[in-house]
Chain A
Amino acid sequence: MNRRRLQGILLYAGTALAAFLALFPPIWATLSSFTPSNRVGGELDLGHWTLDNYAAVAGQRDFWASLAHSAIVSVGTTAVAIFLGILAAFGLTRFRSRFRRIAFTILAVRMVPGIVLVLPFYLLYRNLGLLDTLHGLGLTYLTFALPFCIWMISGFFESIPFEVEEAAALDGASNWTILWRILVPIAAPAILTTAVLTFIFCWNDFLFALILTSQDALTFLPLLLRYVLPQGPLYGQIFAGATIFLIPPLIGLILIRRHLSTAFGLGAVK
């Protein structure tokens, strides 16, 4: 009994420490964004609270424009990737017996480092006039969003038994009807989870946006680099921006909290 109790205490201590460490950096940065930072550095004066940092970033036109660009390109890419991903997953799981081999190819494709892809996209876009456009940027996001969506949704479709649709097929339903009226509604929570994760990946992209946008389609993360002055970063304003920037992923997390643990399992394990 005593040993069991000690184990329980150790479990709590270890896990609580991990949760604390996990939450600490974003929470610290958020707190410090509400304190005055007249010195360039990471110091925190918890005695004084202020909204100065927020006022400073909110007064800049590029700040809101870049947030809007991030939102448009992330939502747009997610919608396209989910739609194409559903079609591909249907084809892969329902009409191909060698699903696993194709699935591995898709996983392999996901492994191409962004730095390999971004250079040719840069050169191509320079010629096509797609540099600094939202649709150009969104297209490059499909390089990671689409394989991820196909991978995840295939996993979910695979776990739905064939009997369900066989019954529908006997009643004369077309493939299109089976997909959108039966499979997609059954897998809806899983597809939503995939959509939220895809959105977060796009939202958090930095490399593609840094190289492919400059002003008209500038997204939020490359914009943050402008707050790094030669004498050091303006942490107060950066953290104020970061806090605002974290709100959409946070809402996403709350939406899918019940499916999050299984989603991570599925995405990598299957």
Chain B
Amino acid sequence: MAPALIVLAAIFVYPLVDAFITSLMRWNLISNVKRWTGFGNYVAIFSDPAFPGVVRVTFIYSALSLFFEFSLGLALALMVRAGLRRALLGFPLMRVLILAPLLVAPLLWAFYFRSFYSPQFGLFNQVLEGLGLPTVLWVNDKNLAIFSLVLADVWQWTPFMFAILLAGLMALPTDVVEAARMDGAGGWRILFAIELPMLRPVLLVTLLIRTIDSLRYLDLVLVITQGGPGRSTEILNFLAYRTSFQEFQLGRGAALAFIVLALVMLAAAALLRVMWKASR
């Protein structure tokens, strides 16, 4: 295992240290002026009047995506489990088909939805028109755009929640559930009082992975809205990318990236605590 750990250490420790040092520099790649600024970048970011807005948008995006992906994923997992238990025809096949979006590169998915959302010829507005309904400015309205991105995110990643929750549900020991049923507990009662509590570790890991991923991917924003209209869809991750690689302010971009990392680490620490408790 030594070689793998050495490679792992090299490809993580070096970049992390280097990124942190960079975040302490004022460094513009175009003028190539590079000087030490300590925590100046962090101070500048936190005192930027637009920053609270970016945090708010990031929070809305992650929280809404997570909420819908989890609820829909759980509902779907319960339906498919019921179908599989009754040995209904076609459920094993549908179980696999539902996973299809997970194979699609997030960038391609972003292009699909950019086309769907296009105001005049986009599929969604054509369907609305066909039904005699008013059309919608999906991503060109600054109040609506972030929700359209959430919709595209939920559409792609609900199957991920579904897959893990279904695997978790199927792996639950049946004797406890049987005992509860003997005692006359109904289906909903069993679900909320017994099965979901037993699934807690699974639920936590799943939620954490999706939280992290929603802070990792920027494909949807990059392809569909570029953070606009205005700055209404500028999530933290995209701001870090734009600052480093479109404005070439490397120091500030690195500092933003570290703020993203800090958020992820906070979530991870919270999860590990709960996991250790649950496994005792």
Contacts and interface: CB of A to CB of B under 8 A. Distances in A.
B19 to A, nearest CB: 5
Interface in B46-77: 75-76
A116 B16 contact: yes
B157 to A, nearest CB: 11
Contacts of B261: 112-113, 116
Interface in A178-194: none
Interface stretch (A46-54, A55-63, A82-90, A161-169): A82-90
Contact of A113 (B4, B121, B168, B215): B215
Where chain B touches its partner, the secondary structure class is helix
A235 B115 CA distance: 7
Contact of A261 (B108, B167, B258, B272): B167
Contacts of A25: 101, 104, 109, 112-113, 116, 155
B100 A22 contact: yes
A120 B19 contact: yes
Among B15, B250, B257, the one with the most A-chain Cβ atoms within 10 Å of its Cβ is: B15
Interface stretch (B80-88, B140-148, B189-197): B80-88
Contacts of A200: 103
Given A90-B1, A119-B244, A262 B98 contact: no
A28 interface: yes
A206 interface: yes
Interface in A114-173: 114-117, 119-121, 123-124, 139-140, 142-143, 146-147, 150
A34 interface: no
Contacts of A21: 155
**Chain B contact residues (Cβ within 8 angstroms of A): what range?**
35 or more
Interface string B164-178: 101110110000000
A88 B4 contact: yes
B163 A261 contact: yes
Interface in A26-44: 26, 28-29, 32, 39, 41-44
Contacts of B205: 268-269
B240 interface: yes
A224 interface: yes
Contacts of B245: 211
Contact of A28 (B3, B76, B123): B123
B120 A41 contact: yes
A84 to B, nearest CB: 4
A262 B80 CA distance: 15
B96 interface: yes
A207 B122 CA distance: 27
B56 to A, nearest CB: 19
A121 B15 contact: yes
Interface in B5-38: 5, 7-8, 11-12, 14-16, 18-19, 22
Contacts of B164: 264-265, 268-269
B133 interface: no
A88 B272 CA distance: 22
A242 B223 CA distance: 14
A22 B159 contact: yes
Interface in B208-235: 208-209, 212, 215-216, 218-219, 223
A90 B3 CA distance: 12
Contact of A233 (B7, B115, B155): B115
Nearest to B120: A41
A108 B268 contact: yes
A242 B155 contact: no
Contact of B126 (A23, A29, A43): A43
B18 A120 contact: yes
Given A22-B97, A29-B108, A91-B4, 12 more contacts: A12-B88, A29-B112, A84-B4, A142-B11, A228-B223, A245-B108, A252-B103, A260-B96, A262-B167, A264-B163, A269-B167, A269-B168
12 contacts: A15-B98, A18-B76, A23-B97, A26-B101, A28-B112, A113-B257, A117-B19, A120-B18, A120-B19, A249-B104, A261-B96, A265-B164
Interface of A: 7-8, 11-12, 14-16, 18-19, 21-23, 25-26, 28-29, 32, 39, 41-44, 84-85, 87-92, 95, 104, 106, 108-109, 111-117, 119-121, 123-124, 139-140, 142-143, 146-147, 150, 200, 203-204, 206-207, 211, 221, 224, 228, 232-233, 235, 238-239, 242, 245-246, 249-250, 252-253, 257, 260-262, 264-266, 268-269
